[in-house]
Structure 1
Amino acid sequence: MNQLEIEYKTLLNKAEYLRLLDTFDGIEPLIQTNYYIDTPNWDLKKERFSLRIRLLPDSGELTLKCPQDIGNMEYNQFFSLEESQALLNNFQLPAGHIRDLICEKDVAISDLAIWGHLTTKRFEKEVSFGLMALDENDYNGQKDYELEVEVQDAEEGKISFDFFLKKHSIKFKYASSKVARTAASHQSAK
């Protein structure tokens, strides 16, 4: 399954996160862990690609994100929980469209390895302008909070997201991607 992902997000402080948690009342959180994959030389990052395995409670998915003029194109392959665990225990990029796309670049498939992970406790709901997620993220001994919304229309989505933040007295704080924050935490830990 391929889809264009257009999202807006902001980091939150803990007080903002707790305040917004009330707007997700009655929604059960989803726990998911992203395992990030690249070569030791960061060959995927040099192509501005990110590759991950997302482990969910009963399944997993391999996702390649490739930047577009607006948003990212996401390519997904889905796996059972057992297949996902096998990939995590001995990572080898499986056959499929994701492998084909990576092979088009100058990336040594055999050098791909899992280098880090991030676990998210996510509260998710549909809002008038998209799918909103309130996240508590744990990675490399750090914790952060984030609000994001996936939208269909980039312009209208941005206006609606900014209005939502203003309505809830939240000042926008730039949030790099989860993979970038995880990578930065690994660099600072060295």
Structure 2
Amino acid sequence: MKHLEIELKSMLTQQEHAQLLPLFKNLDPVTQTNYYIDSPSRSIRQAHLTLRLRTFENAAELTLKIPQKIGLLEHNQALTLKETETILQNNSLPPGRVRQLLQEKQIPIEELTVLGSLKTIRYEKKTAIGLLALDQSHYFGKTDYELEVEVENLEQGKENFQQFLRQHKIHYKPAKSKIARFAENL
């Protein structure tokens, strides 16, 4: 499945995260673990791609993100429990569109390995400005907080996101992607 992802993000303090939690009071959080995959020579990163395995309580998906002029084109592939275990235990990708795209981009599939994981507790809901996600992420003994909104129109989304932050008295703090924050701590 393909999906164009246009996200806006701001890092949050722990206090700002707690301040926004009441907006999600009737929702249960989802715990997800991202396992980031690359070769020792960082061939995926050098190709400006992102490859992750995301696991949930009862599901998993493999995602390849490819930069576009605006946003990222996500190729998502649902995985069985056996396929997930094979990736985590043997660093072996299952057949499918993600593997095919990596091969087309001449990424050495046989060299891929799981670099580590980042666990996120996420609250998510649809709002007038887009799909809003409030995250608390844990990796390498660190915890960080972030607010994301997925939008369809970048310019309108920026305006709406800035207004939302102002409304909640939160100063915008640039946020790198989760994989970038993870990679900085490898």
Which TM-score applies when normalising by structure 1? Answer: 0.95
Which residue of the partner structure matches residue 72 of structure 1? 72
Which residue of the partner structure matches residue 135 of structure 2? 135
Matched to 1:115, the amino acid is L
1:1-190 matched pairs, under 5 angstroms:
1-186=1-186
Matched to 2:167, the amino acid is K
- Pairwise CA distance, 1:86: 3.1
Q: Per the alignment, in what secondary structure is the counterpart of residue 110 of structure 1?
A: helix
- Pairwise CA distance, 1:82: 4.1
Contact 2:24 2:124 in 1 (8 A): yes
For residues 96 and 86 of structure 1, what CA distance do their matches in structure 2 show?
14
Aligned structure 1 segments of 4 or more residues deviating by more than 2 angstroms: 80-83
Cα deviation 1:85-107 (Å, max 9, x = unaligned): 33212221221111111112232
Identity among equivalent positions (%) equals: 45
Q: Per the alignment, in what secondary structure is the counterpart of residue 31 of structure 1?
A: strand
Matched to 1:163, the amino acid is Q
For residues 75 and 160 of structure 1, what CA distance do their matches in structure 2 show?
27
For residues 71 and 115 of structure 2, what CA distance do their matches in structure 1 show?
25
Contact 1:119 1:139 in 2 (8 A): yes
Stretches of structure 1 lacking an aligned partner (at least 5 in a row): none
Matched to 1:31, the amino acid is T
Matched to 1:28, the amino acid is D
- Pairwise CA distance, 1:41: 0.7
Which TM-score applies when normalising by structure 2? Answer: 0.97
Contact 2:131 2:150 in 1 (8 A): yes
Stretches of structure 2 lacking an aligned partner (at least 5 in a row): none
Change (3 A) 1:82 1:94: closer
Matched to 2:30, the amino acid is L
- Pairwise CA distance, 1:22: 1.2
Q: Per the alignment, in what secondary structure is the counterpart of residue 126 of structure 1?
A: strand
Q: Per the alignment, in what secondary structure is the counterpart of residue 33 of structure 1?
A: strand
How many residue pairs match? The answer is: 186
